[in-house]
Amino acid sequence: MNRHRLLPSDEAAAILELAGDIADRELAPLADAYEERGEFPREAVRVLGRAGLLGLPYDEADGGGGQPYEVYLQVLEELAYRWLTVAEAVSVHTLACYPVATFGSPEQRAKYLPDLLGGDLLGGYCLSEPAGGSDAAALTTRAVRDGGDYVVNGTKAWITHAGVADFYQVFCRTGGPGAAGVSCLFADASTPGIVPARPERKMGLNASPTAQIAFDDARIPAERLVGEEGTGFRIAMSALDSGRLGIAACAVGLAQAACDYATGYAKEREQFGTRIIDFQGVGFMLADMSTQIEAARQLTLHAARLKDAGRPYSIVAAQAKLFATDMAMKVTTDAVQVLGGYGYVRDHPVERYMREAKVLQIVEGTNQIQRMVISRTMGR
């Protein structure tokens, strides 16, 4: 994927080149087989960790890469271009590191972040529940203080990396109803009483396990409370602002892969003695796909640059997630159309791209939620 990028440093250019090289060598050759088997590529994620690509936006003093968010998002785009499952894994892991990195005590940061950001440990983010995916403030999983531990009971749903993660950020109720009663606990996945269910049977991203997790009298040490009691909802929402940008970047990379594949096909495929790209109906479709991808890319990077500058970016992040993921759904569908019948069979990757694009409109807050967030600010 050759892009004319505006990067903040030579180091950023080297990081992007490294990410592309690793993705070409270690990810792209595995994608089809792992997706077919539904097998999570744990070793491939470890390779990214050893290369320093799992903690890019966090401070070097904590074991991270010290890179601007705009650089991290372009790395995600490079990974998603080759294999969305792995790009999503990096995005979710980065999200799972956020509470400790941003709200953790100095002791927690020193003790946990080097391993979290170094890539040996993989994270999961336990916010959604079976009865309340979008209404996070209504969660019912409860943590009760018992001596030096919190005893946690309840069920989390739609948890990426369930069963393969090494740690989970668990949002649970320590107080009364509503957002003010929610807290955040950092839990080892091996804790007795944390029990992942059978993975969901999904439309796409089959190599990325998603499942419910039951908490049955799981005892989590009180020292693993992140922030103070009652601040969990604020932590969760703050994390999702940056997490939405990760999903937007994944959408851009996936859409670019679909567009490039469809363009290559249209240059080779002939009908009536003419390349189909030279038919206006096909050529204009590809032109629209390319334009929408670039618009999504720039909106996503604009939000990242606002974040890097310490300026408010929540609304632009919602706009980027909304636009980029709707765009990816449209572009991947159009890529299938360009290939015609061949687009509908598994001999070509565009059918997988289309199935994978759908989930991006749902995760990290559905696009209906993004529209609600945006419209509420417009009504003030």
Higher pLDDT, 251 or 378: 251
Q: CA-to-CA distance for 361 and 356, rounded, in angstroms?
A: 10
Residues β-bridged to residue 213: 156, 196
- Confirm whether 3 is domain-assigned: no
Does 340 lie in the same domain as 257?
yes
Which CA distances in Å does 330 have to 162, 204, 288? 29, 16, 10
Residue carrying the six token digits 């290559």: 264
The residues near 98 (Cβ < 8 Å, ≥ 6 apart) are: 238, 239, 242, 243
Stated pTM of the model: 0.94
Answer whether residue 1 shows pLDDT above 60: no
CA atoms within 13 A on the CB side of 106: 0
- Confirm whether 249 is domain-assigned: yes
Tokens matching residue 159: 């948890």
Answer whether residue 185 shows pLDDT above 90: yes
Q: Which of 130, 222, 131 is nearest to 183 (CA)?
A: 222
Q: How many angstroms from the chain centroid is the CA of residue 217? A: 30
Query: Tens digit of pLDDT for each residue in 113-126?
Result: 999 998 789 999 99
- Confirm whether 2 is domain-assigned: no
Number of domains present in the structure of the chain:
3
CATH number at residue 215: 2.40.110.10
The residues near 287 (Cβ < 8 Å, ≥ 6 apart) are: none
Q: Where among 118, 139, 155 does a domain terminate?
A: 118
Does 228 lie in the same domain as 254?
no
Query: What amino acid occupies position 247?
Result: I
Q: CA-to-CA distance for 369 and 373, rounded, in angstroms?
A: 6
Does 244 lie in the same domain as 367?
yes
- Confirm whether 40 is domain-assigned: yes
Does 228 lie in the same domain as 239?
no
CATH number at residue 280: 1.20.140.10
State the residue range of the domain holding 228.
123-232
Q: What is the mean pLDDT of the segment spanning 263-277?
A: 95
Q: CA-to-CA distance for 372 and 195, rounded, in angstroms?
A: 34
- Confirm whether 335 is domain-assigned: yes
Higher pLDDT, 133 or 172: 172
The alpha carbon torsion through 169, 173, 174, 180 (nearest 10 deg) reads: 100
Does 199 lie in the same domain as 104?
no
- Confirm whether 1 is domain-assigned: no
Q: CA-to-CA distance for 350 and 356, rounded, in angstroms?
A: 10
Residues 73 and 243: beta-carbon distance below 8 Å: no
- Confirm whether 4 is domain-assigned: no
Q: Where are the alpha helices (DSSP H) in the chain?
A: 10-22, 31-37, 42-50, 69-82, 84-103, 106-118, 232-268, 280-308, 314-339, 350-360, 367-378
Q: What is the mean pLDDT of the segment spanning 229-249?
A: 94
Does 374 lie in the same domain as 252?
yes
Q: Where among 56, 89, 118 does a domain terminate?
A: 118
Does 271 lie in the same domain as 335?
yes
Tokens matching residue 327: 């765009």
The residues near 154 (Cβ < 8 Å, ≥ 6 apart) are: 129, 139, 140, 141, 142, 172, 214, 215
Q: CA-to-CA distance for 13 and 5, rounded, in angstroms?
A: 9
364 has catalytic annotation: yes
Answer whether residue 380 shows pLDDT above 80: no
Task: Please provide residue 183's backbone torsions phi and psi, each rounded to the nearest 5 degrees.
Answer: -130, 170
The residues near 376 (Cβ < 8 Å, ≥ 6 apart) are: none
Higher pLDDT, 132 or 376: 376
Q: What is the mean pLDDT of the segment spanning 293-311?
A: 97
CATH number at residue 111: 1.10.540.10
Query: Tens digit of pLDDT for each residue in 327-347?
Result: 999 999 999 999 999 999 999
Answer whether residue 2 shows pLDDT above 90: no
Model confidence band, residue 282 (pLDDT cutoffs 50, 70, 90): very high
Does 155 lie in the same domain as 96?
no
Model confidence band, residue 133 (pLDDT cutoffs 50, 70, 90): low
Residues 312 and 257: beta-carbon distance below 8 Å: no
Does 324 lie in the same domain as 240?
yes
Q: What pLDDT does 379 receive?
A: 75
Does 194 lie in the same domain as 131?
yes
* Catalytic-role residue among 35, 70, 88, 364: 364
Model confidence band, residue 151 (pLDDT cutoffs 50, 70, 90): very high
Q: CA-to-CA distance for 152 and 149, rounded, in angstroms?
A: 9
Q: CA-to-CA distance for 12 and 71, rounded, in angstroms?
A: 6
Answer whether residue 238 shows pLDDT above 70: yes
Q: What pLDDT does 22 receive?
A: 96
Does 280 lie in the same domain as 224?
no
Answer whether residue 3 shows pLDDT above 90: no
Q: What is the mean pLDDT of the segment spanning 129-143?
A: 84
Query: Tens digit of pLDDT for each residue in 13-59?
Result: 999 999 999 999 999 999 999 999 999 999 999 999 999 999 999 99
Q: Where among 70, 95, 118 does a domain terminate?
A: 118
Does 257 lie in the same domain as 370?
yes
Q: CA-to-CA distance for 12 and 67, rounded, in angstroms?
A: 8
- Confirm whether 351 is domain-assigned: yes
CA atoms within 13 A on the CB side of 138: 7
